[in-house]
Homo-oligomer: A and B are copies of this chain.
Amino acid sequence: TGVTLNNEGKGKRVLVVGGDGYCGWASALHLSARGYEVAIMDNLARRNWDQQLGYDSLTPIASIHKRVAKWKELTGRDITLYLGDICDFEFLAEAWKQFEPEHVVHFGEQRSAPYSMLDRERAVYTQVNNVSGTINILYAMKEFTPDCHMVKLGTMGEYGTPNIDIEEGYLDITHNGRTDTLPYPKQGNSFYHLSKIHDSTNMIFCAKTWGLKVTDLNQGVVYGVKTPETSLDETLINRLDYDSIFGTALNRFVIQAAVGHPITVYGKGGQTRGFLDIRDTVRCIQLAIDNPAEQGKMRVMNQFTELFSVNELASLVKDAGAKLDLDVQVTSVPNPRIEAEEHYYNAKNSKLKDLGLEPHLLGDAILDSLLNVAVEYKDRCDRQLILPANAWGSSGVSRHFVGEKAKSI
């Protein structure tokens, strides 16, 4: 898994907010390998949430300091670190003025739906952290670098599951004989998803009012752990979450398969969602940077490559497991989320393909590669963490602690 270093992004300064996280770390290395001048900004909150809950990545992740030092050692390329909270504007402003980003890729949010539904305090934290952080970045752009382009990670979950086709951000509506193009009506299904809707609503306004360049990427569920860059050395390995709070569907299923735990499908398993390979996430980010949004109108692109129902995922994992002689069982557990388990779902995703994205498709190859990592590290798996998530209905005002409600259905 050699990495080709080149200089196609030379001279473009990109600030990766949330660059210590799953998508952010892979994106930062992808860009650095291609010659973009990269800085990572992160408050390492994500590592702290794991520690508080007693969770850990299946893969052993190094500290951000060691990660960046190893990358420098292997490639000779520098990544600047700004470790602090984007909700702390004094910190953000100092770092911003020093680095003067031409693009900011904003991954830096609390991104787990179950975490946001653990209890009141975490619900409020999720919305305040995500909404304030994004407002602060918008003000930093306006004030210090008005030409800076923001690439903001949203989620396909902002659209909910409407009974009509899901377009990319906007919808042409004819009503009582008149027509307008309006923001696509959104319906979130957790305080996390709602926070992303709030961000998008705020960003439309700031792009318009201050003439900023803003791209909103409504990302599907990301799967996989390896990119060429993160595979270069174990110190660079990316996180792989499998717990019920931070693990996303396919990653969780594969790890369940690897350790011989039945795949836990929520309810009927008819929930259909958009998915993409982490190797496509990093390419989408590069495409968005290389083709920036225009000033004044927020651009929205749906960032996923394929649609699958939860049942389809489960049987794909079962089939892939069979090829590695794993006997994969599938079991249905009560759905902690309050959501439609059978619904219409047809979402568009042509804009990133129009910019040149050639998707990795979820075939056996990909499952094998994810499965192989899972099998390699399966001794690190804490089987307790495989249990289903906290129920949406149980989100109350008393704090959830690990081992207690956080693990109950």
Q: Residues on A close to B: CB < 8 A?
A: 89, 93, 120-121, 123-124, 127-128, 131-132, 135-136, 139-140, 142-143, 162-165, 171, 173-176, 178-180, 182-191, 194, 197-198, 201-202, 204-205, 208-210, 338, 344, 392-393, 396-397
Contact = CB atoms under 8 A, between A and B. Distances in A.
Contacts of A186: 183, 201
Given A140-B397, A201-B198, A175 B179 contact: no
A202 B191 contact: yes
B182 A201 contact: no
26 contacts: A89-B120, A93-B397, A120-B135, A123-B139, A124-B136, A127-B131, A127-B132, A127-B135, A127-B202, A128-B131, A143-B396, A162-B182, A164-B174, A165-B175, A165-B176, A178-B344, A183-B187, A187-B205, A188-B205, A189-B205, A191-B202, A191-B205, A194-B198, A194-B202, A197-B198, A198-B198
Contacts of A191: 135, 202, 205
Q: Number of copies of this chain in the oligomer?
A: 2
A208 B178 CA distance: 31
A206 to B, nearest CB: 9
A173 to B, nearest CB: 6
Contacts of A162: 180, 182
Contacts of A197: 198, 201
Contacts of A201: 186-188, 194, 197-198, 201
Task: Report the 10 A-B pairs with minimum CB-CB distance, sorted nearest first.
Answer: A163-B180, A182-B185, A164-B175, A120-B139, A198-B198, A164-B178, A209-B338, A143-B397, A185-B185, A183-B185
A55 B143 CA distance: 28
A139 B93 contact: no
